[in-house]
Chain A
């Protein structure tokens, strides 16, 4: 029996194999994804992001148990960095996962970034399509430890939990663009440490001074101690409330439509680049072009226009 048939019979081993196939971009992976995509669209995707060591994995562990207790099937993708020097990776998010059922209701996959720099791997979105098609009700996506601008998670999920810790900084840090703007729910984790109340207050103030429409979602700030499971249920409730809120307001569908448009454009971009290199790659002497640019005889913009023109003619 082909692996895909076993996948649709609920075989976890087949799911694992298919995810590797997608990650490796092995032969025929796009056709495979096409089949899976048409079976997907039902899973709710929750992103968990924040700096390294903030407690993301422990929060994922807590949220996963909460959804499992609710009778939901839960899939997790947790991303850790690939070394830019060796291509290797140490994927350690599993260490925080404990006492999960061994049946088909829970699945955890560690993923390396493999060169991507937006906090996820290039294939993370495609992997969530596989989890969705397999039948998981909830998909939890954990990013690498991020700084301020690794924000790919926005395009990979329906709702974002940003995890911060008392050491995350002062009031000015909470006002900065980037990470602090993408939260649908904030978790101030390790809130038993000094400075946690202060950070929660700074966040609250920052959020209050932001102009918003009357009926807009009010971003909750939950103080958690994930290792003791403190307030993890409350955090989960707020996540669920946000999902309900955006479903009612129509933002849920709007956001997904936006994501689909971006997906098509990114497929086009990859396809164009591949086709361009297939047709003209052998003829282009990049070293010679770079020489001329460095000598000041031409520039990358002009070269781009010329190459595009010769592609259109070919």
Chain B
């Protein structure tokens, strides 16, 4: 048996700055994870759709446009609507501390801001996935 951490990385909205998310993608890949990169200009519905199809453990969203207080809640709502709110949602971007606290209260598991070392994100994800267990029966 061979269980890998699968993580979807996506950029919602009209923000085209993808340097940060590509750095994270490479770091997760080098940490032995399977990273599904779905690219730019994704709607919250597209992101959650992809997460369900790919059966990921976590969704990582990068927002550098300032629209984080709109987009994160929209992704969370979509996850709830699709019964996928057991998937871990985390994110990164230029996000003020107050907003960060509020987003983490809403259900975003963790927000990483500029300067956060990639090791921190890797450690967070490993721990978050390990503590998540499903007891659903297959057949």
Contacts and interface: CB of A to CB of B under 8 A. Distances in A.
B25 A90 contact: yes
A24 B84 contact: no
Contact of B139 (A2, A20, A90): A2
A87 B38 contact: no
Interface residue SS majority, chain A = mixed
Nearest to B37: A92
The residue among A21, A24, A91 with the most chain B CB atoms within 10 A of its own CB is A91
Interface stretch (B2-10, B62-70, B96-104, B105-113): B2-10
A88 interface: yes
Contacts of A87: 4, 32
Interface residues of A, number: 37
B94 interface: no
The residue among B1, B34, B49, B83 with the most chain A CB atoms within 10 A of its own CB is B34
Contacts of A260: none
B30 A94 contact: no
Contacts of B31: 86, 88
A26 B137 CA distance: 12
A264 B3 CA distance: 26
B55 A91 contact: no
B34 A24 contact: no
B30 A86 contact: yes
B3 A26 contact: yes
A89 interface: yes
Given A3-B136, A17-B136, A87-B4, 8 more contacts: A24-B1, A27-B1, A32-B139, A86-B31, A88-B34, A89-B33, A110-B54, A112-B4
A2 B83 CA distance: 16
Nearest to B22: A90
Given A2-B139, A3-B136, A13-B84, A26 B34 contact: no
By Cβ-Cβ distance, the 10 closest A-B pairs, closest first, are A16-B55, A95-B39, A88-B29, A4-B139, A87-B32, A2-B137, A94-B38, A88-B32, A20-B55, A91-B36
A110 to B, nearest CB: 5
Contacts of B139: 2-4, 28, 31-32, 35
A90 B29 contact: yes
B47 to A, nearest CB: 11
B35 interface: yes
Contact of B52 (A3, A16, A27): A16
Nearest to A96: B39
Contacts of B116: none
Interface in B42-68: 45-46, 49-50, 52-55
B138 A21 contact: yes
Nearest to A11: B83
Interface string A83-121: 100111111101100000010000111101010000000
B34 A91 contact: yes
Nearest to B8: A94
B26 interface: yes
Given A4-B139, A13-B52, A94 B1 contact: no
Contacts of B37: 90-92, 94-95
B28 interface: yes
A19 interface: yes
A13 B54 contact: no
B138 A2 contact: yes
Interface in A212-232: none
A179 interface: no
Interface in A94-153: 94-95, 102, 107-110, 112, 114
B53 A109 contact: yes
Contacts of B26: 90
The residue among A16, A35, A114 with the most chain B CB atoms within 10 A of its own CB is A16
A20 B6 contact: yes
A43 B79 CA distance: 30
